[in-house]
Chain A
Amino acid sequence: MVKILLLGLSGDSGCQIAAVGLHEKLLKLLSDNELVYAPTIMDAKEIPSQIDVAILEGGLRTQHEVETVKKIRKNSEIVITLGSCACFGGVPGLANLREGDTLLERVYLEQQGTIPGPLPIVDKLLPKQVPISSYIKVDYIIPGCPPEVNDIAGTLTTLLSGGIPELSQTDVCEKCPRDRVGSYSKKLKRIYDEVADPKRCLLEQGFLCMGPATMGGCGAPCPAAGMPCDGCRGPTIKNSDQGLTMLDALTSLTGEINENFNLPQHIGILYRYTYPASNLAKLFKGGNRK
């Protein structure tokens, strides 16, 4: 019986919900092993002193969360980060473009339609949203927003049977059903501008698709459904900075930087899930850790 902890931090529990999608497999996993702490689905209130596998979801935003993960690290054999918030900082990391204190004021006091009252003093905020590896050693990552159910099941079963889980070696394009013709639009388009050709590569058609810069293994469901990949699985195994890799791909494929490329506008696509862990964030004063 392996003792498992499952905890969500500053995230949206979507990865845990994805894990629920394992259904019968989940029930079997839970009954073959011992879930010692999982506040989303059971009533244990204290972090146990002995944990074999700790699965952490969500990034870090408050001091309390930092203390919690430090305690979990101390008590655990293996720590896994589940999902792109835990692995890279995730979508909430886009707020790092502004400091924590002013953010509180901005959202709680200066928001239109909000009558300013007292500022919340529930917990001390960190200056930035950061990935869990900013504070503790992480043994394995399962990226994705959320990760694919098979990634979660695969990593856990491999680990529980004594193996070492491996990340996908490919990018999202590898399994994309769309075809490349070989010529690229010189102009970046917005997704609402036109109805895309359903068979052809979205990037070739001028839609900023993050497929070439994003870790594969998902089966490319988004481009298959008519939407560009927005990079939720983070950088490929060969690269560390997803946005730079994409820029590189854009320039090498189109021969030049696209005429209406604009970093402030496109940063929300290039670094939607990985800004706190990116080289770009490190260039800014203070990096992503105080």
Chain B
Amino acid sequence: MTESIQINPLTRLEGTGKVKIEIKDNTVKDLQLNIAVGPRFFEYLLINKQAEDAPRISERICGICYVNHHLVAVKAVEDAWGVQVPEVATLLRRTLNAASFITSHSLHLAFLALPDLINIKNRNIIGVAGAEPAVAQAALQLHEYGNRVVAELGGRIVHVVTAVPGGQTKGLTGEARYKLLREGRTAIINARKMADAVFAIYEKREADPNEYMSIKAPYMGLVDKEGNYELYDGDIRVKQGNKIINQFSAQDYPKKLEETTTSHSFTKIMYLKDMGPISGQTRVGPLARMNVIDRLQWTTSAEYLKRYDRLFSRPCDDTAAYNLARTIELVAAVEEVLEGLGDDSITQERTREPVKARAGTGYAFVEAPRGLLHHSYEIDEKGIIKAANIVAPTTFNHKSIENNLRVWADTHVAQLSSQSNRDDALWNMEKIVRAYDPCLSCSVHMVEIDLTVDGENYKKRRNP
């Protein structure tokens, strides 16, 4: 007899997806993560469009990581055209990219993660606001601050517009800078408030290595020249255990990375070419970033990293650490924004230079809140896109999420098979998926769990 269970749809995630589990004779026979957001064919629809429109078209891939898509697209076009932008443009973009981490991480922690972490009955933001009003308040204020910085530097709150090959169409006025700096003082207090709350939860809880499980994979993320934490530029570093096994620039992409398809998901699978499609599948995102860096260069977030190290020694394979790493990054993002705004050169007026289109292929990476993001474009001499390739963080993480769920299901097969423990087991599996903060619309979008145990399909889900 086979029993099949599904979590369908997976909730509190960005997008549509489903986990399908088949159990027979107390063994997990099959487990698949299906990403079922309709594929929207961005790589195709970008063909024959003007290259300068790529930042505005491709950011429509994602309602959360739009800033990162916008910036990586312009970087890729500039790489193809051999364009250097004025320093102030880089500073503006770097600050904009960091601001997107404030909005995304505060939203994830308050709306998606905290309902699981504080284990309330009403598992949503209303529940969080009831149980931890100060934390919910801090999160919403941070989200708003992130939005303000994004709107100021990006021209709009959602789907920004200011990046153009050659620079930024909008600079920052002294007045606007002063206002954001002043509001930033509250933002850093709120970030500490949130971080203290999340750290307290972790420090009080009894560590259970089987709650999320550990899985080993190469970790991949950006670092700057000194090995510091980096979100906008720099090299791609790959680390396995304590060893740096690879470090390369964006332009090495075709030599280093490759994608393949799978029948059960609209998301592709990405792997390191020299390791092959099985062992070359990497983990990206907050956990990976904490694993690949040599140091975190801002004081407050570095303090939290020390506290993190007492709970999870790095390199850390435990998926439980994702939310804590994300919390550190929320603080780091506020610090990076304040550092950017604190730089007097940010108000320089000449934020762009005219540029010339030329034929070529450009590659770029940035860190998005949920992990590494890649765009490349092949452009003709008239500045028209002839081919596009987009690799979103969930494409990198797809297989790791699936593997993670598999090892959890293998370990907890008895719980999954028992009627009375099943709801909690399924909730735990959803927690694992959510820890990765998968952006399923980026990778194509929501998740449901479909469980079959000995032939009997189990679909009923609690409805809090």
A residues near B (Cβ < 8 Å) are 8-18, 20-21, 23-24, 27, 30-31, 39-46, 60-62, 64-65, 90-92, 94-95, 97-98, 103-104, 106-109, 111-123, 125, 129, 145-146, 149, 190-196, 221-222, 224-227, 230, 232, 264-265, 268-269, 272
Q: Which residues of B contact A268 (CB under 8 A)?
A: 48-50, 53, 57
Residues 363 to 387 of chain B near chain A (Cβ within 8 Å):
383-384, 387
Is B217 part of the contact surface with A, judged by Cβ < 8 Å?
A: no
Q: Which residues of B contact A116 (CB under 8 A)?
A: 260-261
Q: Quick check: B11 and A121 within 8 Å, CB to CB?
A: no
Query: Contact residue range for chain B?
Result: 35 or more
24 contacts between A and B (CB under 8 A): A8-B445, A14-B158, A14-B159, A17-B107, A21-B147, A27-B129, A27-B140, A30-B125, A40-B12, A42-B124, A43-B12, A43-B463, A46-B461, A92-B40, A103-B39, A106-B41, A107-B41, A108-B268, A120-B265, A122-B264, A122-B265, A146-B158, A221-B155, A269-B50
* New contact pairs (13) apart from A8-B16, A60-B38, A118-B262, CB-CB < 8 Å: A18-B157, A21-B157, A30-B126, A42-B123, A62-B36, A94-B45, A94-B57, A95-B41, A119-B261, A119-B263, A120-B261, A222-B161, A226-B164
Q: Give the CA-CA distance A121 to B8 in the complex, in Å.
A: 17
Please give the distance in Å from A84's CB to the nearest CB on chain B: 9
Q: List 10 A-B pairs, minimum CB-CB distance, nearest first.
A: A14-B63, A61-B38, A225-B155, A226-B169, A10-B38, A118-B263, A92-B40, A95-B41, A117-B261, A45-B461
Please give the distance in Å from A149's CB to the nearest CB on chain B: 8
Q: Name which residue of chain B comes closest to A114, CB basis.
A: B259
Q: A12-B62, A13-B63 are in contact. Are A46 and B463 (CB under 8 A)?
A: yes
Please give the distance in Å from A69's CB to the nearest CB on chain B: 13
Q: Quick check: B129 and A13 within 8 Å, CB to CB?
A: no
As a 0/1 sequence over residues 162 to 181 of chain B, the CB contacts with chain A under 8 angstroms (1 = contact) are 10111001100000000000
Q: A91-B45, A221-B155 are in contact. Are A17 and B64 (CB under 8 A)?
A: yes
Q: A111-B43, A114-B261 are in contact. Are A269 and B157 (CB under 8 A)?
A: no
Q: Which residues of B contact A60 (CB under 8 A)?
A: 38
Q: Which residues of A contact B354 (CB under 8 A)?
A: 192-195
Total inter-chain residue pairs, C-beta < 8 Å = 263
Q: Quick check: B261 and A13 within 8 Å, CB to CB?
A: no
Q: Quick check: B260 and A115 within 8 Å, CB to CB?
A: yes
Q: Give the CA-CA distance A91 to B169 in the complex, in Å.
A: 23
